Structure 1
Amino acid sequence: MATEIVMPKLGMGMEKGTVVAWQKQVGDPVQKGETLVEIRSEKIEFEVEAPEDGVLLDIAVPNEGVVPCGTIIGYVGSPAELVNTDSSHVTQTTAVAVAAPPQKKIKISPVAKKIAEAAGLNIDSIVGTGPDGRITKEDVERAIAAGSPDVGPHVETKPTTATPSVAAKIPQENPQDLSAAPSEPVKVFVTGVRKAIANRMLQSLQQTAQLTITMSADVTDALEIQRQHGERIRERYDTKLTVTDFVARATVLALLEHPQVNSVFSDSEILQHTGVHLGIAVALDDGLIVPTIRNANRLSFIDLAKSVKSVSQRARSGKLHGEETGGSTFTITNLGAYGVEYFTPILNPPETGILGVGSVQDQPRYIGSELQRRSILPLSLTFDHRALDGAPAAQFLGTVKRYLEAPIHLLL
């Protein structure tokens, strides 16, 4: 019996999805667990895997088709099966013999693919620097700027005023030629994830009263725990401790002490959550996603650390589970890896607060009367002033600081 492939629903807010690209054609053999089709929601892209061995019997929704969640988009089954896509339509398919083994799939982000196609660039020649060798927009732009030998036959040699080619827009720098005309900027259409992020961030700023306060925490002792016990924890629990893990645990414990921060402002009432559903902002090739660790308050320090890494890795590879793509009650965003110290994070609606984590800086600090070199972590808390006043927000941030500076309490 044919197995239906349906548009999945990832998260409460997802109502429809877009078929980005089928990785198989009708009649192609498939293996259970093999990527069958790439899907895009407003937040992320992800891969739908074949539920069983067989062949792709029918494609009900073609590439770029947009349908509601739960809609049948294709069928997988045995080669000679009949597939009923509705009461009046019957499709019969047979397997197509494949003489050569299937080519290895090239992972590339949609934005990168569009730029490469517009420039006539052969993506086979590009080395991807993203997760699992995924080709990013930056990889394609570097290949074009470097004058890849595969850019040529497909590039327009006579671009029109209305639709100049991408290759024509890339600056051809020549410091010797001062008379060269200024180059035109590269146009990147705002669609998919980028468009969804733009809309949500504008909505966040327009519909909330956002204020950011900052504080620093001395994480010298926390980093010493990481140094002394990190290898043992990695061997025993198969996870590597990071600053984000300490911050995540401190945040969860602080939210339990300050439930007003773990809340949502809704019309004339404030809804305080009893459980902490922690959002972890993850940067993707062409946007940002906030996967959710549900009931983070029930997890031990090590389990929380493992969960942070697990959802972050699956977010980058597009393999998040449905319950992990929404419903967070508080978010952490970390720009420390980029050398950023203090910054102003924007609320992830409808949450009341978001904590920004900066880069650890070594600074001289007095411990009693002794001047010591200490590791200082910048923290930036943005909160919705409609739901929370400055004093309780500062108290919450102070509690996060207290836990980070006495890390033994994070382990208990």
Structure 2
Amino acid sequence: MAVKIEMPKLSLTMSEGTVLHWMKKVGDPVKKGDAIVEVSSDKEVCELDAPEDGVLLDVTAKEGESVACHTVLAYIGQPAETVQVKETSSEAANNGNHIEAARDSNPSSRTITSSPSEKVKISPVARKMATEAGLDIQSIVGTGPNGRISKEDIEKAIQEAGNREEKRETPVLESAIKEAVSVENSEKRPVIGMRKVIAKRMQESLQQSAQLTHHMKADITELLSLKKKTALLVEKQHNTKYTLTDFIARAVVLSLQEHKQMNSAFIEEEIHIYNHIHLGIAAEVENGLVVPVVSHADSKSLVELSQSIKELSQLAKTKQLKSNQMRGSTFTISNLGSYGIEYFTPILNTPETGILGVGAAQETPVFVGDQVQKRILLPLSLTFNHQVLDGAPAAQFLQTLKNYLEEPIHLYL
């Protein structure tokens, strides 16, 4: 009997996923454990494996298509086996109607029968979107399996409707845009997978919070000197090497313990102040950005914090992070120093209250008393939610962080 491969629900907030790439095609033999398809959830990209040996009999979702969790993506069975699919929409179920489709391993021989009352094939998510947008689904051509209207079809219809409205209202603006942009010199790329998730989350972050950014420089000359002096001892005793990010993370944890309101979240008109610190460390991966989380960072020493950051970073680079390793952060650090960036405005990882942006350390002439000395200054950018706390408390947190970085002996304790 054929076995289903379904879109998994990898997090509590995930309602749908996107099919990114099929590693196998219909008719290909597969073995248990073989990667079949790459999908993206609301926070990560993962591969789905074959649950048993057999042949890939059928694929029901195209690359780039978004489908609801637990939707069947493919069937695996024995060669020449016929797949019986029974799918019931919520609307059809209320009327006792359903669609039955018979499929076999030869796509050209598929036959479909449906009840007369089932006029339009459309996913529940797409139907809801169409109703909210006031669209006539009878006039929309579905691009999903067997002509089914998908979420992407509705989004396209909404966009086209908006374009038509904008054309009627602002013909002069549209003309100016056409003159400014040459179609021949542009390349269009669909926003799918992780890029689509990131775009959505960033827009929601700015819409749902009042974000303000403070900037400050910390003198880390003594910190780097102490790091160099203790490098051999640390490597010998703990078989590791401290990075600047390790010290910054430790300083953030200590500062959050003193300024508890920064370690909070704004959720449904309430401020949730957390008792533990779960530190998110933004990491760049292919085609996007992920935020691994060091859980209970407040209970870890500097060396333990360093080891956790390195382990998570390696998992991120090899795409082995699990969904629970990217959930539950209470504060986030984003370091762009390796790119030569000084100051920038990080966007909150909502519903968190704060995120720290770290720039590139620079050698700078500084007056120390009456003398000019070469010092190393580190740019810091703190974005915070003004709905949770005001500018002065945020500035106090940043000042405390600066003090810890400039008096590094406290980071070792």
CA distance in 2, matches of 1:182, 1:82: 47
Report what 1:105 is aligned to: none
Report what 2:326 is aligned to: 325
Aligned amino acid, residue 325 of structure 1: M
Q: 1:85 to 1:349 in 2, by over 3 A?
A: same
Tell me, yes or no, if structure 1 residue 272 matches structure 2 residue 273. Answer: yes
CA distance in 1, matches of 2:189, 2:336: 25
Report what 2:18 is aligned to: 18
Q: 1:246 to 1:60 in 2, by over 3 A?
A: same
Aligned amino acid, residue 43 of structure 2: K
Q: 1:62 to 1:71 in 2, by over 3 A?
A: closer
Q: RMSD in angstroms over aligned alpha carbons?
A: 3.4
CA distance in 1, matches of 2:354, 2:51: 40
Tell me, yes or no, if structure 1 residue 289 matches structure 2 residue 280. Answer: no
CA distance in 2, matches of 1:398, 1:281: 22
Report what 2:378 is aligned to: 377
Give the deviation of 1:183 after TM superposition. 6.0
Give the deviation of 1:350 after TM superposition. 1.0
Matches within 5 A, 1:55-94: 55=54, 61-64=60-63, 66-71=66-71, 73=73
Give the deviation of 1:281 after TM superposition. 1.6
CA distance in 2, matches of 1:49, 1:406: 50
CA distance in 2, matches of 1:74, 1:237: 48
Report what 2:136 is aligned to: none
- Contact between 1:217 and 1:376, CA under 8 Å: does it hold in 2? yes
Aligned amino acid, residue 199 of structure 2: A
CA distance in 1, matches of 2:38, 2:329: 25
Equivalent position SS for 1:250:
helix
CA distance in 1, matches of 2:307, 2:226: 17
Deviations 1:320-339 (A, max 9, x none): 11112332211111111111
Matches within 5 A, 1:176-325: 184-230=185-231, 233-234=234-235, 237-325=238-326
CA distance in 1, matches of 2:310, 2:200: 28
More helix by share: 2
Deviations 1:227-260 (A, max 9, x none): 2333554565454422111111111121121110
Matches within 5 A, 1:38-49: 38-49=38-49
- Contact between 1:335 and 1:356, CA under 8 Å: does it hold in 2? yes
CA distance in 2, matches of 1:221, 1:370: 17
Count residues with an aligned counterpart.
323
Q: 1:399 to 1:346 in 2, by over 3 A?
A: same
- Give the TM-score normalised by the residue count of structure 2: 0.67
Equivalent position SS for 1:260:
helix
State which drifts further: 69-78 or 308-317: 69-78
- Contact between 1:47 and 1:319, CA under 8 Å: does it hold in 2? no
CA distance in 1, matches of 2:57, 2:184: 47
Give the deviation of 1:58 after TM superposition. 5.2
Give the deviation of 1:203 after TM superposition. 2.4
Give the deviation of 1:40 after TM superposition. 1.2
Deviations 1:191-218 (A, max 9, x none): 3322332232222223221111111112
Q: 1:393 to 1:183 in 2, by over 3 A?
A: same
CA distance in 2, matches of 1:303, 1:51: 37
Unmatched 5+ stretches in structure 1? 94-180
* Greater Rg over alpha carbons, structure: 2
Q: 1:207 to 1:56 in 2, by over 3 A?
A: same
Matches within 5 A, 1:152-163: none
Q: 1:56 to 1:369 in 2, by over 3 A?
A: farther
Report what 2:350 is aligned to: 349
- Give the TM-score normalised by the residue count of structure 1: 0.67
Q: 1:57 to 1:206 in 2, by over 3 A?
A: closer
Give the deviation of 1:272 after TM superposition. 0.5
Report what 1:101 is aligned to: none
Q: 1:186 to 1:268 in 2, by over 3 A?
A: closer
Deviations 1:4-55 (A, max 9, x none): 75533333322222232232355524364x5332111233322234567x44
- Contact between 2:19 and 2:193, CA under 8 Å: does it hold in 1? no
Aligned amino acid, residue 205 of structure 1: L
Q: 1:359 to 1:61 in 2, by over 3 A?
A: same
Aligned amino acid, residue 374 of structure 1: R
Q: 1:42 to 1:241 in 2, by over 3 A?
A: same
- Contact between 2:24 and 2:56, CA under 8 Å: does it hold in 1? no
